[in-house]
Amino acid sequence: MQLYILCGASSEIANAYFTTLHKRINTGHIVTISRGEFKASFNESVSNEISHQHFITDYSEQSLSGIAKELAGGHYDLAQLMIFNGLLHDPDNAPERKLEQISEQHFINSMTTNALLPIRCVGLFSTLLKPQVSTVVCALSARVGSISDNKLGGWYSYRASKAALNMLFKSAAIELSRRYKKCHCVLFHPGTTDTPLSKPFQANVPEGKLFTPEFVAEQLYSLISDADFLQQSQNPAYFDWQGKPIDW
C-alpha cells in the first residue's frame, strides 16, 4: 500500500492537502504529523481503501525516529513525504524591514522551523525509501528564498531560512538520487495563501493573487503527481503554484 506522510499537518494548506488526497487517490495510508491533535477527517466506512493515522510529535530526532520505525513495520511504499511546517512571524516578531530589527531568537526560530526541521524529516523518513519505488519529497519553500530574485531586501530571517532550506534540499537531492533514482525532491512556492501566516500582509496582494488553501493543495497535488512534469524538472525542482521554475 502506498504511504503519504504529511508533516506540519496542523497548517491550513496541509489540511487542504489531506482532503485533496482523500479525493484524488483510490487506495493508500495517509499519515499526519503535528504537535497537537489533527482535526480534519473523512468517513473511512465510505473510503475503506484509504486509512489514516495521526502522530503527535515535538519534532525531535527521537520522536520522528520512533514514528519512522513504526511505519517501517507496515510494509508501505512511500509515495509522498510532504513537509508543510513554516514560520514567518510570531506574536513578538514581524518580518524585519531594517537591519537593526534582526532578533537573534527570531532568527534561530526561523532557521529551526523553516530549514532544520524539514531536513530532519527528510533524513529520518528517508529510511522508508526504496530503490524501486517512485517517491516525491516535498517542502514548502518561498520565492523570497531565491537569492537571485531578491530585489526588495528585508525579511532577513525568513529569506535566509528559506534559502537555507533550498540549499539543504539541493544537497539531499544529490545524495538521495545516488541510492534512490526514483526519488524526486521538490521545493514548492504556494503563492500568497489565505492563512494566518500571510494574514498581516494581505492588504497589498493584487486581486486574484490571494489563493485559498484548497486551490493551492490541488495545484500542488496535480504538479507532483505528473510524472512527465517531474521528469523534465530539475532535482530538486523549485517551482511555484503554476509549475513555473524559480531561479535559485
Is 194 or 19 the better-scoring residue by pLDDT?
Answer: 19
Q: Are 82 and 121 in contact (CB under 8 A)?
A: no
Determine the pLDDT at residue 3. Answer: 98
Determine the pLDDT at residue 211. Answer: 86
pLDDT digits over 128-146, tens only?
A: 999 999 999 999 999 999 9
Q: Give the other-Cβ count within 10 Å of 194's Cβ.
A: 17
* pLDDT bracket for residue 46 (50, 70, 90): low
Is 204 or 148 the better-scoring residue by pLDDT?
Answer: 148
Determine the pLDDT at residue 188. Answer: 98
Determine the pLDDT at residue 236. Answer: 97
The kind and range of the H/E element at 176 are: helix 156-179
Determine the pLDDT at residue 205. Answer: 66
The kind and range of the H/E element at 185 are: strand 183-189
Rounded mean pLDDT of the chain? 93
Burial class, 200, CB count within 10 angstroms (exposed 0-12 / middle 13-18 / buried 19+): exposed
CA 228 from chain centre, in angstroms, equals 21
Which amino acid is present at 182? K
CA 220 from chain centre, in angstroms, equals 10
Whether this prediction's pTM lies above 0.75 is answered by yes
* pLDDT bracket for residue 204 (50, 70, 90): low
Asked if the model's pLDDT at residue 172 lies above 60, the reply is yes
> Helices 213-224 and 12-24: crossing angle, nearest 10°?
50
Share of the chain above pLDDT 90, in %: 86
CA distances from 62 to 3, 21, 59, 65 (A): 21, 28, 8, 5
Is 194 or 51 the better-scoring residue by pLDDT?
Answer: 51
HSE-CB of 143 using CA atoms within 13 angstroms:
14
pLDDT digits over 56-76, tens only?
A: 999 999 999 999 999 999 989
- Rounded CA gap, 143 and 156, in Å? 14
Determine the pLDDT at residue 171. Answer: 98
pLDDT digits over 88-129, tens only?
A: 999 999 999 999 999 999 999 999 999 999 999 999 999 999
With CA atoms as reference, report the closest residue to 138 among 228, 53, 17. 17
Phi, psi of 239 (to 5 degrees): -145, 165
Share of the chain above pLDDT 70, in %: 93
Asked if the model's pLDDT at residue 41 lies above 70, the reply is no
Asked if the model's pLDDT at residue 44 lies above 70, the reply is no
Angle at 200 between CA 239 and CA 163, to 5 degrees: 35
Asked if the model's pLDDT at residue 247 lies above 60, the reply is yes
pLDDT digits over 209-233, tens only?
A: 788 999 999 999 999 999 999 999 9
